[in-house]
Amino acid sequence: MAQHWQELIPIDRYLVTSNGLLHEYDRKVLTFLYQPLIGSACLSLYMTLWAELEENKLWSESSTHHLLMNLLSVNLKDIYEARLRLEGIGLLKTYVKSDESGRSFIYELYPPLNPEQFFLDGMLNIYLYRKIGKNHFARLKRFFSTPKKPLDEDYLEVTRAFQDVFASATPGSLQYMQEHAEELEAESNQEFIGRQDQKPIQIDTSTFDFDLLMAGLNESLVPQKALTKKVKEVISNLAFLYGISPIEMKNFILGAINEKDEVDIEDLRKGARDWYQFENYDQLPSLINRTQPAVHQVQLTEPKTQEEKLIRYYETTPPIVIFKELSGGVEPSAANLKILEEVMIKYKLPPGVVNVLIEVVLRKTDMKFTKGFVESIASHWARLKIKTVKEAMEAARKEERGFQESKKTGKSTKQKPIRTEVLPDWFDDSQKASVKADTKEQNTELEAKKRAIEEKLKAFRK
């Protein structure tokens, strides 16, 4: 994973194209359905790239990213982060070419899902519901819906079919069409302007252990043919959405098998959703970054020291996994998960920074994860604009050094006695250095006193 300045610089050029025509109605879908999930910066980038396309054209003129920075009034890192989020949610594909003249990009815009696809998606609609709440979600459903107009039974359909209105072509005209077939098709270097329906978000099925799932299902006499391609895609999405293991997924599949030995997809989704809400006090999952974004990763080379290995581990591991490992394998409670979500969303701390925060809080509070203490550190780090794991570790060390120095100078004498805290291992370097310095200073003072006493003894003997 490279830094943004290794992936993109202001003089890099780009072209904008579109995978089919974008309609005016897409703006409403993007604004009300996608913006709560991806943020205003992503929407601004998409709209700006869209505006560069001429009316009824699929290609823009060439521009530099410096122009894009000026148009959006943001830095290159923000543009890069917004681009990645647009790619992840399926609204953008990026292509790059490097030659002697420099580097150039093609940004291919993809239309959003239509409202029906979005509200029946099974992933994006869940994230939107969690983000904006029940009332606003219902309002958006009404906004993108229209009442069905029942047809009066007294009306009879009198619509004519094609063959009732038109006659077949004569043999002569058919021969003419065959002779001039090339003229009826698009030219070799061009294509007709059109639009294909956008595909919904799909998690790669290779991320789910279907072998383990099938091993459990074989014991329950569930036929392998029940796991069709569509069912596997739904299982992968549900596993990602709700964090379901293959062992747990087996129970939901057993509950969704119908009398034809087929998996009812709606029953499968409902079973997974009901289980998640029961386990999390009627809450639904929210859309957050699972691991440290590439633009904020600092350990890009192969780690050598213990600290470098720890940084790399924090950058590539989700906060929930870190919390569970530091807790001795105990699953975090619903309250703990809610605190983690609020920290990442409210204070906009990247997952890697949250990992450092988790260790600091658990070590300093005897494995308690209290909201007040977590938010005090999170708000402080947010004000310091800490974005990388290394910055978070340095801030934690600095705070601990300040605390130790205040104890030495007596500033904390009026405070209540504080117990000795267990600190993370990566505090050791700074603490050892501090201890060595104190010990050296004490030894120097003792040697000086010893010499002064010896001098006085010599003078007394004389």
- Where does a domain end: 368, 388, 408? 408
Write down which residue in 60, 93, 112 finishes a domain. Answer: 112
Phi and psi, residue 16, nearest 5°: -115, 135
Per-residue pLDDT at 257: 86
DSSP class of 122: S
Q: For residue 91, give the CATH number of its domain.
A: 1.10.10
Q: For the full predicted model, state whether its pTM sits above 0.75.
A: no
Q: Summarize pLDDT for 347-384 with one digit per residue, the tens.
A: 778 888 888 999 898 888 888 888 889 889 999 998 99
Q: Which of 62, 88, 112 is the last residue of a domain?
A: 112
Whether 153 maps to a domain, the answer reads no
Count other Cβ atoms within 10 Å, centred on residue 250. 20
Model confidence over 283-329: pLDDT tens digits?
666 655 566 666 677 766 777 788 888 888 888 888 877 888 888 87
**pLDDT tens figures, 184-193:** 565 666 665 5
- Residue 298, in any domain of the structure: yes
Residues 6+ apart with CB under 8 A from 316: 291, 292
* pLDDT tens-place string over residues 441-457: 556 666 776 676 666 55
- Residue type for position 157: E
CA 280, 90, 343 angle in degrees (round to 5)?
A: 35
Domain count, the chain: 3
**pLDDT attached to residue 12:** 92
Contact 110, 91 (CB under 8 A): yes
Mark whether 9 and 76 lie in a shared domain: yes
Rounded CA separation 256/379 (Å): 45
Whether residue 430 lies inside any domain: the answer is no
Bridge partners of 106?
15, 95
CB atoms within 10 A of CB 343: 24
Structure tokens at 109: 């815009």
Per-residue confidence (pLDDT) for residue 426, from 0 to 100: 67
- Residue 250's domain spans which residues? 205-279
Question: Is 242 in the same domain as 328?
Answer: no
In a domain, 173, yes or no: no
Backbone dihedral angles phi then psi of residue 263, each to the nearest 5 degrees: -85, 120
- 121 in a domain, yes or no? no
Domain shared by 327 and 243, yes or no = no
Task: State the pLDDT at residue 164.
Answer: 81
- Percentage with pLDDT > 70 across the chain: 74
Q: Please check whether residue 132 lies inside any domain of the structure.
A: no
Q: Is it the case that residue 462 has pLDDT exceeding 50?
A: no
Does residue 194 have a pLDDT over 70?
A: no
Q: Are 268 and 335 contained in the same domain?
A: no
Query: Is residue 229 located within the same domain as residue 316?
Result: no
Q: 1 pLDDT exceeds 60?
A: no
Residues 24 and 50 in one domain: yes
The predicted model gives 58-71 an average pLDDT of: 90
Domain membership flag for residue 431? no
Quote the tokens at residue 412. Answer: 């904390």
User: What CA–CA distance (Å, rounded) separates 424 from 198?
Assistant: 48
Same domain for 265 and 359, yes or no, is: no
Same domain, 18 and 86: yes
| 253 and 311 housed in the same domain | no
Examine the domain organization and report whether 319 and 232 are in the same domain: no
Query: Do residues 93 and 9 share a domain?
Result: yes
Please give the pLDDT value at position 29. 94
- The pLDDT, as a whole number, for residue 179 is 60
Q: Is residue 368 part of a domain?
A: yes
Q: What is the mean pLDDT of the chain?
A: 79
Q: Is 256:263 a contact under the CB 8 Å cutoff?
A: yes
Tell me: do 302 and 255 sit in the same domain. Answer: no
Give the Cα separation of 254 and 8 in Å (integer): 49
Query: 3-class SS at 104?
Result: strand
